[in-house]
Structure formats: structure tokens, C-alpha cells
Chain A
Amino acid sequence: MAKINKRSWAEPYKMKMVELLKVTTRPQRVKALKEAGFNTFLLKSDDVYIDLLTDSGTNAMSDQQWSAFMLGDEAYAGSKSYYKLEKAIQDFYGYKYIIPTHQGRGAENILSQILIKKGDIVPGNMYFTTTRLHQELAGGTFVDIIIDEAHDPYNEFPFKGNIDLKKLEVLVKKHGAEKIPYVCMATNVNMAGGQPISIANLKELRAYTNKHKIKVIHDMTRVAENAYFIQQREEGYKNVKIKDIVKEICSLTDGCTMSAKKDALVNIGGFMGTNDWDVFEEARNLVVVYEGLHTYGGMAGRDMEAMAVGIKESVGDHHQKARVGQVEYLGKKMEEYGIPIVKPIGGHGVFVDAKAFLPHLTQDEFPAQTLAGEIYIDSGVRTMERGVVSAGRKPNGENYYPKLELVRFTLPRRVYTQAHMDVIAESVASVYARRNKIKGLKMTYEPKYLRFFQAKFEQIK
């Protein structure tokens, strides 16, 4: 007799358009991975069965979005689609003035140039690659002020994205508040494994920064996923709608940058928001140089339309429950198989601890890179290394040896089904079963910068 399962969610949508996948054989995958130098970034997407490389720009749009897409107004100036986007951002996020950009890094570039002066300090809750780079290029220095718990993969603290105000206080005392143009506050901290910040923490941050006249800039690419965790975990928010939590988060900040390719359910696009007219005016002048005129900023009219609809869909309670629920489903399934994963399970992906998975490999044998390759060979599932390869080298040429040596399973939104999740978990389990036989890699080609994108490897015999 069938047992009643604790099936907690089903997708609040059905499929309306599908994209066929190519099913490959193991010999084909062995060959493809070898040709790609054991780097999953260099695989052709055609050879991939389930693509968990990133959740950025890989979302499935809804029929409402596709329908809006067809309404895109491609006028160079004053496009109708721009006004719809502006209104959606004002309505759902509450920022007064917006500057559209082609994607998030375009907004980071402009904001950094306006707010950061040479010699400034930019504190934040953990770095992100492109964000930190733009801060540095503008003459600033990034300082990590995330709580210590964030660096421990097995600490189950519910808000590992929180900011340690004592660390901020130390910076203010050392450099003076005038050297700190803003605190860069990310909602759902990606590099910590998709971990949220709490409203309580954010309120403390707001009070402290108000006192010292420091701005709070919101890196809001996964704000709705963060809001979901607040609803589930923070006292007093159980009955508050995600829509309202998102708005509250934004109201505690002065401006934002957003890569809309994540939460906002589109394939391309981003924006910068601010409540400050002077910042807006400067941004409006700069955006023309880098991105496009301020009423399109490097986006096609149709992409602005799709984003306006996507923003609205992204703050739906049912949507987020299914979204984060699917990530949790995959994580729990892996745990059942005994796979070591980062805890608590984050909002956009599951992070497998490759050091614990392949304890017989030294970090110089690239355990996470090795594991990503083995999973691909086993099932055609593409994942990403987040370990020693991604960390790169110090200025003196030595390797950085990061504490976390992870393989990231990032879930695109609304793309894969529960059956796909099962295939993924089973594949990881089957690799886990033969983990002792797995040999490491050596690097045969290393580009000078951002080596994880293009490095090549060979199996150690």
C-alpha cells in the first residue's frame, strides 16, 4: 500500500513550452570532457543533459512574460517598455529613480564610479567576484564584515548572511566614517552558499549607518529568495507576504544594483536604483557612455517588458516556496545519500563539500574540479567548481588555498522538474559510491586572470 509522503510543494505552474534535451552516452561524455580539458565551463551546452552551472539568465519565462515580450517597444528614447519597468521597480522595490543596464555588472560599474573615491573603504557581507572588482577599479578597497559563522560550512545559524556590526565599528574607528561611502549589503549572499540576512540585522545596520551618515547599497539580485527565508525563519514574519518583506528590505537601504537574471526571472538585464536625485543625475549621464541611453540602458524594449512582469512574479509566495523548496528537495535528497553538503541549504543551489567527498585528494589535485568532472561523466549534469581553481593566485604567484572547496549545483528557476532532481541526486550518490577510486587532476593550461573560466586539466595517472 502506498504511504502518504510528506510532499510539501508542487510547482505553481505547468509547462507551456519545452526545450528538447540531448541524451548522451558515457563514452560521448568522456570524450567531450577530455576535449573541454576537464573544465565544465568549456563544455558545449549541447553535450550537457542537466545544466546547473548557474542560475543567472537561465530561467524559464512565463507565458505572461513572453506575451509582454512581444509588446516590447524598441524606440531608442522614451520607450513605453521603459516606463513599465520603472513603475514595476518603484512599486515592488520602492526605489525612486532607476537606471537600466544590460546586466548587473553594468550597474555595479556605474555605481562604483559615482560613489567611491580613491582610498575609500567598502565594507560588505562577503565579496562577489565582479562586485569587488568594480569597487577596486574605482579606487576602493573591499573589506569583508560578514559574521564569522558564514565561513563555517556546517554551522546551521539561520542568517549566515548577517553583517557583524562590531567589524563595521572597527573600520569606522580606524578609517573614519567619511572614508566609507557605503556598506554593500547583499541579499542572499552567494559566496556563502545563498545565505540570507535578517531584517533585525538590517535594522541595526540602518540605525548605525544613519548615525554615521554612511549609505547602504543593496546588492539585490536574490532579494525575494532572502525574503522567503525571513518569512520562514524570522520572528514576527510568518504571516507577512514576501512582497511586503521585499519592500521592507529595500526601504532600509539608499540604493541598489541588481542583476535581474536571477530573481527577476529573465535571461538578460539589470538596473541601478537610488533615492538620491544627485546620484541619479550623475548615473544618467554615465549610463550613456557605458550602456545606452537612460531609457533603455543596453536592454532591448522587449527585455524591459519581460523584466517588469518577472519582478511581479518573483515576489509571489507560491513561486518562492516552489523555488527554494526545490533547492531544499535536492539538498535533502543528497543528505539522505550521505553526501556532505553546506548547511543550511541555500536559496539558489546546493553546495557539495568536495574536501569531505574526496578526502584522499590534496587541494593541489583539485578535488572540486575533479568531482565536477566525475559527475558530468556519470550523468551529463554540469556543475561548477568553487574552490582552489576559482580562488586563483596571490600577487606573489602562490595559490590561494580557500577553506571551502565546493562544487556548486545551481538551479535555474522553473526549468527542471522533480524527476530531474532525482537524477541529479542519484548521480552524485553513484559517484560517491566509487569515490575511493577517483583520481585527481593536474593543470595543463592556466590563463593569467580568472583562471576558472578557461583553465585546462588532465587526469593524474
Chain B
Amino acid sequence: MSERMRTLTEPFKIKMVEPLKVTAEEYRKEALKTAKYNTFLLRAQDVFIDLLTDSGTGAMSDKQWSGIMMGDESYAGARSWEHLESVVKSLTGMEYIIPTHQGRAAERILYSIIGGPDKVFISNTHFDTTRANIEYTNAEAIDIVCKEADDVASFAPFKGNINLERLEQLIQERGPKAIAAVIMTVTNNSSGGQPVSMANMKAVRKICDKHQLMMVIDGCRIAENSYFVKHREEAYSDKSYREIAQEMLNLGDAFIMSAKKDGLVNMGGLLTLKDKELSVKCQNLLIISEGFTTYGGLSGRDMEALAIGLTEVFDGDYLNYRIKSTAYLGEKLKEKGVPVVWPIGGHAVYVDAKKLYNQIPVEEYPGQTLAVDLYIKGGIRTVEIGSVMFGKYDEQGKLIAAEQELVRLAIPRRVYTQSHIDYVLDVFDDILEMRNQKNGYKITYEPQFLRHFTSHFEPINK
């Protein structure tokens, strides 16, 4: 995997720009104080480079914008719906296509039908909203990612794989009847955007067949995963990215997609199914909470843009640019001595803040500290994925820390140039100079759940 990086040329040129505000460090300190040191509470206009998420933040192509203008806003049977439906049918090979306003709505609909008390969901790793939707039905969500994923610093080609042995064991322990579904998240976001191999997916299919279990593919980054399959799994080197995605999706009984990632759009989601009876149940819920079956909470123009985006995303030049530009940031950071999750995944670089700021105890949130520092030093917005996001308290009110203290630098699709990325790298030089600092942050306000979105912080000065 050591393809040498030369200058990476984008397979597109810029057709529309959005000016950015350049701010000074003093200004940013004030802005952050107002935002209670939570990057989610910053105003977007005070951010120079926004790496908070790759979800819904991509730039659309001129073809997509043209599709936006062609959007058919009819309530029922719109042309834009027919266009989207045919694109998704041909990609997934599934018969029943349900549009939703975004991915979490698709999850909620499916999991509230197949979940419930005493049910178990098994996944390589459940994403945070997925877990929330499952637990909301009083079902249990169990993560069993492969062993290779435990070592964040070493290379393995498919660290997003599920642990097949554990899967068999769990099925024996719980009994197949208790298991609502096996969910394969591709790529595996929560474990660093790591890919899942086709071999692993096929093995899961076989196990599901043996025990008559439902296999759900949560594939908001299915195209990025296809890139890794083509380049790391020998049997697939001659297949196109789209063919690989088609083959993989065909293994599933259901496919859930937040289209805000690999759909290359700012809004949208999908639920697709093979089973008619289940799809009717899902459609009933859809009408209650999302919208009629032929728009599901999306405007006609957004369906049009998605139909085009789902075609563009499998372009070889695009995927090559996408994966390699993410890797560029990660590899350069590693060269500088910044500890990163390895290998670099498809959509983001994850910095190990516990290792970088090893003087700050987890109770003082080293990840949050790094996210704050990146904003103050460079106007860069990132997100903590550590004990702020996943931490819990024990009965004495003591923090039960998350396994890792990471900061995610998610790269929006087709938005930032290499100069922007080089700027981020420069800012890390400042960060490295601060690596021996001892002062972290404490939480001064937190809501009952999903606290990372709205918590308030204060610096601790020792």
C-alpha cells in the first residue's frame, strides 16, 4: 500500500465558490468562549476549514445543480422519483425502494419494525444514531468488529470486518430467533472508516442463510468501500467500482443509506428491501413520519440530485482522488509524528489525542482539548470521538471513559483543495509544539443524552 503520492489532481475544476472568512486567533478565542468550547456550537461563519463531518457537506457537480433545476415537485408519482427509483434499483438489485429525508429516518423505520424487547442486533460496529434507534426499541446492539481493529496503529487491509467466529458464537448463545438482524456498516465509520472485504460479507451471508437471519447493509460509504475492495482484494482488481458495489449490495436483504455521504448530496436517505411484506410495513411508517411513498420527505430536486450523485460517485477518477486525498492528509500527519489511526480510511483521518496529549487525563477530555486547540490555532473545526461522545458515569458519578480518545478530521467531498489540506498540516506543527500541555477541560452543562452536541465546557487551569 505504499503507492507514492505525487501531486494529486482533482478530476474536476471549480465552477462555483463560497468565500471563506479569515479570522485572527484572538477573534477565535472569543468565538469559542461564546460557544462554550464546544465545536458543535460554533457558528459556521466563524470557521475557516470545516472538518466537522463529511455528511451533507459535499459540493455538487454542475450536472447535479442542473438536476436541481429539473426537480419535479409533484406530490405523487414525480418524474424525479422515477429517476431515483430506477437508479437505486439497478444499483442494489432490490425491488422495493423507500426514500427518506436522511439516513437516520430509514434506520428508525426499519429497526422499529424488526426490533423490540428481547431482540438482538449484531454488527461490525453500530454507528451512534443506529445504536440509539435500536436501543430506543429496547433491543440490544452488540458490536463485534474483527480482532485486527484493536490495534489502531498497525496495518491490516480490512479492519472494518466483522468477527465471524464471534458471530457464530453469539448466534449459538442467543439462539437465531432472538436475533433481529446482522448489520454490516460499510465502511465502518466508528472504527476509523475502515473497509469491509467482500469475502467477509459473503461469509456473513452464508451464516445468515444457515440460521435464516436478516442481513442489513448500512452503506452510506459503499463507493469508498468498493475502492478498497478493488485495490486490496485480489479477485476484484478487474471489476469496476460499481460492479463491486452491486455485488456487495446484492448480498443483503436490506440496504440503508444516508445519501449525504456517497450520494454526493446535501440531504437525503434511502431504505431498500427485497421482501414485499416488510416493505409494505415500512411504507406505512414512512407515510406517518416522513412523507408519501414517492417522495418520503425529500423535495423533487433533491431526489434528482441524488440520482445523479449515485452515478457520479462510482467514477474511477473521482474515487481515486477521494481516497488518495484523504490518505494524503493522514500520511503527512503520520510523517510529522502525529499519532493517527492506521491505515487511513476513506472519509476521515482520526488523530489519537490520548497519545498526542498524553499528559492530560481522560477525565479532562484530551480529545476535546485537541479539537479546541485546532480551532484556536487555525480556525479548523473537528469533532471529538471519545469520552465526551461515548463516556458514561458510574454510580458514584465517576467517568467511565471510552476506549479511545480520538479527534476526527472528516473531509467533505470535492470542497477543499490541496492548499487547504497543506494549511491543516501547518496548523498541526503548532499543535505538536503544545503536546506537553497539561490543562484539559471540564463539563459545566450536559443534557440527558447525546451530550456531545450541546454540552458546555470550561478550561481547567492548574
A residues touching B (Cβ–Cβ < 8 Å)? 40-46, 48, 51, 53-54, 56-59, 70, 72-80, 83, 102-103, 105-106, 109, 130, 133-134, 137, 267-268, 281, 284-285, 288-294, 296, 298-303, 447-450, 453-454
Contact = CB atoms under 8 A, between A and B. Distances in A.
B50 A75 contact: yes
Contact of B299 (A48, A130, A303): A303
B320 interface: no
Interface string B444-458: 000111100110000
Contact of A80 (B44, B55, B78, B132): B44
A252 to B, nearest CB: 29
Interface residues of B, number: 60
3 smallest CB-CB distances across A and B, nearest first, come from: A75-B44, A45-B74, A102-B101
B341 interface: no
A71 to B, nearest CB: 9
Contacts of A133: 288
Interface in B42-80: 42-47, 50, 52-53, 55-57, 71-79
B44 A290 contact: no
A298 B299 contact: no
Nearest to A71: B18
Nearest to B284: A449
B56 A300 contact: yes
A109 B289 contact: yes
A290 B79 contact: no
A58 B74 contact: yes
A45 B79 contact: yes
B450 A299 contact: no
B267 interface: yes
Task: Provide the main secondary structure of the chain A interface.
Answer: loop
Contacts of A453: 287, 292-293
Given A44-B77, A76-B52, A300-B56, A290 B289 contact: yes
A316 to B, nearest CB: 22
Nearest to A103: B297
B105 A285 contact: no
Given A75-B50, A75-B52, A106-B289, A56 B75 contact: yes
Interface in B100-144: 101-102, 104-105, 108, 129, 132-133, 136
B347 interface: no
Contacts of B243: none
B44 A73 contact: yes
Contact of A285 (B77, B298, B450): B450
A198 B449 CA distance: 42
Nearest to A77: B40
A303 B267 contact: yes
Nearest to A58: B73
A56 B108 CA distance: 25
A56 B75 CA distance: 7
B41 A290 contact: no
A408 to B, nearest CB: 12
B368 interface: no
B74 A292 contact: no
Nearest to A80: B45
B82 interface: yes
Nearest to B57: A74
B101 A267 contact: no
Given A53-B76, A103-B291, A103-B297, A300 B44 contact: no
Contact of A45 (B18, B57, B77): B77
B373 interface: no
Given A41-B76, A78-B40, 15 more contacts: A41-B77, A43-B77, A54-B75, A75-B44, A77-B41, A78-B45, A102-B102, A105-B289, A106-B289, A267-B300, A285-B447, A289-B136, A293-B453, A298-B297, A301-B266
Interface of B: 16, 18, 39-47, 50, 52-53, 55-57, 71-79, 82, 101-102, 104-105, 108, 129, 132-133, 136, 266-267, 280, 284, 287-293, 295, 297-302, 447-450, 453-454
A283 to B, nearest CB: 12
Nearest to A47: B77
Contacts of A74: 56-57, 266
Among B47, B74, B136, the most chain A Cβ lie within 10 Å of the Cβ of B74
A285 to B, nearest CB: 5
Contact of B288 (A44, A46, A105): A105
Nearest to A450: B287
B77 A289 contact: no
A180 to B, nearest CB: 24
Given A75-B47, A268-B297, A450-B284, A58 B75 contact: yes
Contacts of B288: 105, 130, 133-134, 137
Contacts of B40: 77-78, 293
Contacts of A448: 284
A53 B75 contact: yes
6 contacts: A75-B47, A77-B40, A78-B45, A83-B43, A109-B289, A134-B288
A59 B300 CA distance: 12
A134 B290 CA distance: 12
Contacts of A137: 288
B220 to A, nearest CB: 14
A288 B46 CA distance: 23
Given A77-B39, A78-B42, A303-B267, A289 B104 contact: yes
Nearest to B80: A45
A447 B293 CA distance: 14
Contacts of B104: 289-292
A43 B76 contact: yes
A285 B449 contact: yes
Contact of A102 (B73, B82, B297): B297
B266 A302 contact: yes
A40 to B, nearest CB: 8
Contacts of B77: 41-46
B450 A288 contact: yes
B74 A300 contact: no
Contacts of A290: 104-105, 108, 289
B112 to A, nearest CB: 11
Contact of A77 (B44, B105, B284): B44
A80 B101 CA distance: 21
A134 B82 CA distance: 29
